[in-house]
Structure 1
Amino acid sequence: MKHLFLFLGTILFLSCHDNIDLQRFGKESRLVVYAFPTDSDSIRITISASQPLGGSIPALHVTEVRCTTNGHNGRIVHAKDTVEGRFPVSTWYAIGKHRCGDEIRIAVRAEGLPEATGSTRIPSPTVPEEAALDTVYYKGNLYTQIRLNLPSARHQSRHAVRVVGWYAPEDADVPPRPEFMEVETTAEPLLNHHSNVELGFGSADDFYHRMYTFDNSTFLSSGAVLHLNVWQQPGIKACHAQLFTLSEEYYSLLQSLNNTDNNVMASHGLAFAFSSYTNIRGGYGCIGGYSLAETPWMGGGSEKGRGSE
């Protein structure tokens, strides 16, 4: 979340369900709102304010936060106020039952700033029909490969996939922890959005929070097998895959962040930078719904214990 606020801190263009045009700066600060509803009992709503071009970071005094689920008002709780990278951040929670298919609308008001509103719908999850773990030899290196059998579907859906490794070093003083692992996208056409030439000429294979986006438009009626190759690393005892089904808003945000991160040439002034995305009316940020399906932990002698957490 800190990365998002720092990235948008100086963006001033008002937009709704659109790309932020970095050439159309304004002079006023706007609210920056992020919330990612899923089928759970609470929605975290994170609020900040943008820094005007040539101006100072504004104070943030949130006066009202509203969240409706299918038109019904939910209970709102203020959690904390902090500072992240010099930007004030206010965190709130919408408390209540939220299910797949629900329409979520969020509105935020703060002193001296325009009201910011956005909406999304929580999609139903896509559950892999089968998951398998193997070791493969690819481009002269050994990889751990997770294969996910994705089902056919009646309608197009948008996704992100991530591999999580369980890092347990030999040093007993270092506690084990999950780590997001880099996927070799050249081994999977669904994730390889660049040609090898493009990857070598100004696009780094780097994805926000290691979330790799794709959609099912090419395998609607047939299903597909997703091949996720990750480096074999010391200390990684097991791994599993997370398959996110994304709303259009969340998918567009991730694509925008990934394009911005990947565009190495633009950071050196050699190419046009990709614009960022917002679906917030009166401000910027994103209200994006998602659902999650996870495979069991695979590999290692203690996968049964971790899979039951």
Structure 2
Amino acid sequence: MSAATPQPTMAGIPDPMAPAAPAPQPAQSGLFAGIPDPTQPAAPVVERDQAAEVASLDNALNNPDFTSVFAPIDPQASRKKMAKQAGVEPVILMEHVTKIYPAQPNKPALDDINIEIYPGEFVFLVGHSGSGKTTLLSTLNRDVKPTSGRILVAGQDLMKIKNRKVPFLRRQIGAVFQDFKLLPQKTAYENVAFALQCIGKPKGVIRSQVPEVLRLVGLADQMDSLPDQLSGGEQQRVAVARAMVNRPPLLICDEPTGNLDPAISLGIMKLLERINRTGTTVIVATHDREMVDSMHRRVIALEGGHVIRDQERGGYGNYGTN
């Protein structure tokens, strides 16, 4: 029997990180007709009121302009292997990082963390609530300063960086949150434009880039809508557009699909994967077991502030969602 062919990715290019698709099986008949194959993940159920949003997400993901605006790198290459061979430094380097909050002096939020993440990687951060995921992400944009250790992000030593330079560091980091964090009195266009205004981009650049990035996430028709006029999935797409409009080399996502239904979550995660394919390093903290297991990306698991697993093509593992 011939080997199965790779499945096309969202950009129409086989994904070397994805497992080969199983060979087609004959249709079930007789007693087994209609029984789902337990080896295949169930597709998310799309409710009637979600159909339009799922369709718009699919259209955005199939947009061939995406990788012409955000230039793709070689999809057949291992980002980590390429970086090491080229002598490229990690975009994130954490050495013996410990964070102790005064309220819990005997229970470090992070305890001797050592991690290297290279440009272009897609990394899932998993673990129980309270395992240290949010604290770890907060150290990367200097919202939280570790008690000890060393952190380099995009070449900046976060233990030595002066406070006045922190805003310049954050220009290189896009952030997507579970609760969207949109400005309620601003339209989708204005929320995305605000990210560029804050870093002093000229009005002409804003007028050209904001509609383009909203179109790429499938919201060209919603630019004038306020957040409360958008669904949760649409609000999260605005948040993704805001995070990527400045084309940062690093995108940090803290439970980006935590408030979304499975069918919408799948589209958001595919959108993040599409952004990663253009070369952006993406780190996603999540409790979404099925999503992690299906994507076969690098998984870093935390427990009690320790890294207990760092797997190149991993799954969620034995971690609950509480």
Q: Give the TM-score band, short-chain normalised.
A: under 0.3
Normalising by structure 1, what TM-score?
0.25
Structure with the higher fraction of residues in helix conformation = 2
Normalising by structure 2, what TM-score?
0.24
